[in-house]
Amino acid sequence: MASRILSGRYELLEKIGDGGMAVVYKGKDKLLNRFIAVKILRPEFTKDATFVENFKRESQAAAGLSHPNIVGVYDVGREGNINYIVMELIEGDTLNKIIEDEAPMDYRKVIDISKQVASALRIAHKNKIIHRDVKPHNIMVTTDGVVKLADFGIARAVNDATLSTGSKIVGSVHYFSPEQARGNYVDERSDIYSLGIVMYEMLTGKVPFDGDNPVTVALKHINEEITPPRELEPSIPPALERIVMKATSKFQTNRYANADELIQDLDNVSFVTAIAPDSIFESTTVVEKRNKRKQDLEKDIEEVVEARERERKKKRRKNVAIITVVMLLLAAAAAGYIAWKMGVFSPTKAAPDMLDKTYDDAVAIAEAEGFKLKKGNDIYSSEYAEGRICQQDPAPGVEMPKEGTITINVSKGNKEGLVPSVLGMQEEDVENFLKSYGYALGNVKYITSFEKAGKVLEQEPVAGSTLDKESTVDITVSDGKGTEKSTVPSVTRMSLQDAKQAIEAAGFSVGNITYDWDASIGKGYVIYQQYQANSQLDKGTAIDLQVSSGPEPEPEEPEDTTDDGDKDKSKDKDKDKDNG
């Protein structure tokens, strides 16, 4: 893709991921000089207030969570019709890719990954946030084994009692909790169920429920029992299997109440499996006796668990039978409704939604639905981007004769729009970039600068200004002939060694060094610097320094060279003068 800069700061380098709502790019923060990930909401959703709200919710939810196992969010913004989030760039693979490559995975690795995901959920739940979409695709594992939970796009506060977003059901059906499949209230235990399904898939290489369509899978989550993972992979420790089965119970009250309980049980399994191997110094008899006690205890526990499970199954069968009948009736009604909506029993058919589609897409839709297509006019639109269908007749959903004609008008873009940022771009890329937004390149002014030749330094009007389409944007460009400037540091009262380091770190060199007496500044410290601190100079300029030699020493008294005889004669002469 061609390089693109958002808000004059975030340079998009390459696409690294696709999601249902957004596209993820690898980018670079030009201000902080670091690599980042930028998630951009798909254009078809920018006019949908519900999807935009979900996108904002992701940034707000994740930005408030600071934890080593949660992907960090650095910034959120909008430029024109582009909504984006700036996030931590993770170097590694998704758990989905790791499962494809390694499953069935070593149970010790499964425990480690599960504990880290549970730690992320613990922080989210304590902040009253339910993730709602825990799945391997949203879990990243870095090259050094750190697990990161991402994508809080459909998370919402705990006191939200519904799963629906508008008319849409959110989440991934293979990892749905039964309450999500029913559209009932969800809480922390719903995330724990989804994590239990992820653990099951890591241990066995399969999800417990699959089917031809999402409805079939959702019904299995509600009605069918999960096959114990040890039936698929006998090497799984029984204690770990019990954790998975408890986390994926169909009844919320039978699951772990919170992530702390799950982490504690995973820690216990880690401890037990770590000490399980028998010591090579124990006798065979001791080992056999200990194994016998262990087997007897496990058998007793399993019998109690099985008895309780049989009672629960009896109750469930009654409920399942009722639910199944209701679901079948609903499915039959839904099938009839869908057939009616598809026009099976009617000579008319609802016009398909072609708004915000390209002309080529509209042609394909019309052919697939059995309609004819007529292209109308190219008109200005404040709602739809240039080249997108902005009007259709009949409107979407309106009943019309089968094989009828739909007339479409294509957007020329907003007559009045927001000027995009071209700062930092190269001059040769600006014209086509502005053209894609409906503007033309105006005057180009060149100034002397140390920046790379052709780099855009200024623009008029500035980015974000409102401007009629087909207007011009003027730019100021570097000629690349300038010398890079730097700020002179303040080094007075520094030691000479520290002053040299500060000057060289700022991009300058040390010039002549002179010394002078100074009683107010210690010996070896700078008294004077040639250029004023905080002024701007060309890099490489030499800066002269004057350094203190300490206080000036006191002058010495001249030495008395006369002998004692001369001193006595002198005293006698003085005495005679006094007597006279």
Quote the tokens at residue 358. Answer: 């390209």
Helix (H, G, I), strand (E, B) or coil at 178: helix
CB atoms within 10 A of CB 523: 13
Write the single-letter amino acid at 49: A
Confirm if 86 and 28 have CB atoms less than 8 A apart: no
C-alpha 296/C-alpha 277 separation (Å) is: 18
C-alpha 387/C-alpha 274 separation (Å) is: 63
Using alpha carbons only, what angle is made at residue 195 by residues 192 and 197, rounded to the nearest 5 degrees?
Answer: 115
CA neighbor of 343 nearest in space, from 374, 372, 373, 371: 371
Residues facing 25 on adjacent strands: 15, 38
Cis peptide before 43 (omega within 30 of 0): no
Which uninterrupted H or E stretch holds 142?
Answer: strand 139-142
Beta-carbon contacts of residue 263 (< 8 Å; ≥ 6 apart): 115, 118, 119, 122
Beta-carbon contacts of residue 162 (< 8 Å; ≥ 6 apart): 183, 185
Quote the tokens at residue 559. Answer: 């030495």
Quote the tokens at residue 68. Answer: 């080593």
**133 is a catalytic site residue:** yes
Angle, helices 259-275 vs 188-204, to 10°: value is 30
C-alpha 457/C-alpha 451 separation (Å) is: 9
Confirm if 359 and 410 have CB atoms less than 8 A apart: yes
C-alpha 88/C-alpha 36 separation (Å) is: 5
Write the single-letter amino acid at 56: K
Helix (H, G, I), strand (E, B) or coil at 205: coil
- One DSSP character per residue, 278-336 reads PPTTS-HHHHHHHHHHHHHHHHHHHHHHHHHHHHHHHHHHHHHHHHHHHHHHHHHHHHH
Using alpha carbons only, what angle is made at residue 8 by residues 4 and 13, rounded to the nearest 5 degrees?
Answer: 30
Report the sign of the C-alpha dihedral through residues 574, 575, 579, 580, in that order.
negative
Confirm if 529 and 491 have CB atoms less than 8 A apart: yes
Using alpha carbons only, what angle is made at residue 399 by residues 396 and 404, rounded to the nearest 5 degrees?
Answer: 90
Selecting among 106, 133, 468, 560, the annotated active-site residue is 133
Write the single-letter amino acid at 128: K
- For residue 432, count CB atoms less than 10 angstroms from its CB and return exposed for 0-12, middle for 13-18, buried for 19 or more: exposed
CA neighbor of 25 nearest in space, from 34, 7, 38, 35: 38
Q: Are strands 542-548 and 509-516 parallel, antiparallel or unpaired?
A: parallel
Angle, helices 107-126 vs 259-275, to 10°: value is 160
Q: Give the active site residues.
A: 133
